[in-house]
Amino acid sequence: MPPHAPKDRQNLSYALRSGFAGGVAACVAKTVVAPLDRVKILFQASNPDFQKYAGTWSGTFRAISQIYGDNGIRGLLQGHSATLLRIFPYGAIKFMAYDQLEAILMPTRESQTNLRRFSAGALSGITSVFFTYPLELIRVRMAFSTRNSSHSPEGYHRPSFLSAMRQIYREGTAPSPTPSSPAPTPAPTATPATTSIFTRFPILKFYRGFSVTITGIVPYAGTSFLAWGFLRSRFLPPSSSRAGPKPATPLADLSIGAVSGGLAQTVSYPFEVVRRRMQVGGLTRPDRWIRWGETVRAIWAARGWRGFYVGLSIGYLKVVPMTAVSYAVWQWQRRILGL
């Protein structure tokens, strides 16, 4: 790394270009895997219409076929508009924060330890999640809605971004129709204190599952950036000549990104399953805050330890190419923008 690089990263122009590159990379990567992303949410959140497909690779493609048969391409991309609204700032903040933290924690190649790589990645993930989580919750609610699970008395309708946002905001303010299927997370009656919190601070409704998300993003983002930095240092070492380090190719970026994504997904997946269940909890228990303990117990009671890995195969199918494309496009954008 050139000696002037850390100083260059501290100026506003560099930070904005870095954020733009990260945002574009995240949008491209998410679009590539959007159909798989919706199916994974349906599996993780135990949507009753799709539980028969969960657990097998063939079931993943049969679920995609059913969604396409019912609603066409729009069904496969349901919730994707909310995804793009969230993922651009998420990717921008994450990669921009990592660039800044890398300059602070690892100003020289000698200081690039695995612990510092993990710490920089985890902190960048936490920062991006904090600012974009409400958009993530809206996106999950849009993707979770299906023809038979809709609570609308008029029948199924494809939820829009604004309608999903209004539904979340109004949860707990009036009695909700009884769901047509059993609640995935049984829970006792809401306490007045919980209802009072939602009434006084409605913004909290947009942070269902936030605590488990923060806990899960630490191993996910930390492991992802750790693997990315370590593998690049191992397979793309600095050159002994003055020409600088060995230049990366798009294939190298894709390969290293794919391995990074697979490792990060394996480490953090149980947290993701718990998070999805808590995020859709407002549909079945809109009057109360769904807690970690009861969600974990419900998953364990229903399927044991395997319940925490429901949809992992589709998770690999989605996260590996998504992470590969994300890192590759990020590096491509950095080269174009002179970063």
Whose tokens are 């270009």? That residue is 17
| Per-residue pLDDT at 89 exceeds 80 | yes
- Report the range of poorest mean pLDDT among 86-90, 93-97, 157-161: 157-161
CA distance 263 to 323: 11
Confidence of residue 185 (pLDDT cuts 50, 70, 90): very low
**pLDDT tens across 17-30, in order?**
999 999 999 999 99
CA distance 332 to 339: 10
Alpha helices in the chain (DSSP H): 5-9, 12-32, 34-44, 57-76, 80-105, 114-144, 161-170, 192-200, 210-235, 250-279, 281-284, 292-303, 312-336
Confidence of residue 177 (pLDDT cuts 50, 70, 90): very low
Query: Which range in 20-34, 47-61, 170-184 is most confidently predicted, on average pLDDT?
Result: 20-34
Cβ-count burial 107-141 (b if 16+ within 10 Å, e if not): beeeebeeebbbbbbbbbbbbbbeebbbbbbbbbb
Domains recognised in the chain with CATH numbers: 18-150+158-170+199-238+247-337 (1.50.40.10)
Query: Which one-letter DSSP state was computed for residue 290?
Result: P
- Report the range of poorest mean pLDDT among 165-174, 184-193, 231-240, 276-285: 184-193
| Per-residue pLDDT at 279 exceeds 90 | no
Work out the average pLDDT over 130-137: 87
- For 286, phi then psi, to 5°, come to -70, -15
| Amino acid letter, residue 231 | L
Higher per-residue pLDDT: 144 or 88? 88
CA distance 300 to 305: 6
Whose tokens are 């690089």? That residue is 5
Work out the average pLDDT over 188-217: 71
CA distance 266 to 216: 11
Work out the average pLDDT over 225-252: 77
CA distance 30 to 25: 9
| Per-residue pLDDT at 176 exceeds 50 | no
314: nearest Cα among 274, 276, 269, 283:
269
| Per-residue pLDDT at 57 exceeds 80 | no
Percent of the chain topping pLDDT 70? 77
Handedness of CA 129, 316, 232, 92 (dihedral sign): negative
In a 13 Å sphere around the CA of 337, the CA atoms on its Cβ side amount to: 18
Cα separation values, 287 from 177, 198, 202, 279, 297, Å: 12, 8, 12, 13, 20
| Per-residue pLDDT at 331 exceeds 80 | yes
